Amino acid sequence: MVLRQIAARGVRSPAVLGAMGCVPRHFFVPAELRDQAYEDRPLPVGRGQTISQPYMVALMTELAAPGPGDRVLEIGTGSGYQAAVLSLLAGEVHTVERLPELFEASRERLAVMGCGNVRAFLGDGSAGLPGHAPYDAVVVTAGAPDLPEALAAQVAEGGRIVAPVGPEDGQWLVAGERTGGVLRLRRVLECRFVPLLGVHGWPDA
């Protein structure tokens, strides 16, 4: 998976490639899909949510560039896979999930994996965690119509943010860095994520 799907498509960070090789993706997908766990595509994890394809997890992690001692905010815990990858690279990871059943299941998986530097929160991820901000990196794993200002505001000086932004049927993955107090964004590639529901995302029906 790491060699053929990730490194071959341009992810170069040795730390990211190493983390992707250390986290067993099959542990984060439903039992009936474990034979497909290392395929290059997203898989359903329940309640209309997915675990992102391995390449996208690696790319977003490389763009976020978490380092030892960094504090990272992840929006959309889902299965817990992205948080587990981030935990191997950052000093501390805060992850937010809005669905109670996914929150409980992912928290148990992360505990079994020994991800002691991950702290999980149940709530509206579109609002982030302003009481714990700022963060050195913010990784958003669901698509919003625009980059939520509430999340952008939680990026520290010198920090990075990675998020899918655009209509529900297709988004652009954007990456940004705050320098001199200004968050500068760039488009990376077209993508498609599940919608970010919440007060600063899409309305929750």
Closest to 174 measured CA to CA, from 203, 156, 148: 148
Show the tokens assigned to 173.
Answer: 């993955």
* CA contacts within 13 A on the Cβ side of 165: 19
Nearest to 154 by CA among 164, 140, 166, 168: 140
Find out whether 125 and 103 touch, Cβ atoms under 8 Å: no
Our CA dihedral for 28, 29, 32, 34, rounded to 10 degrees, sits at: -70
Here the contacts of 107-116 (C-beta below 8 Å, separation 24 or greater) are: 107/80, 109/27, 109/28, 109/79, 109/80, 109/84, 110/80, 110/83, 110/84, 112/27, 113/23, 113/27, 113/80, 113/84, 115/83, 115/84, 115/87
Residues forming the active site: 52
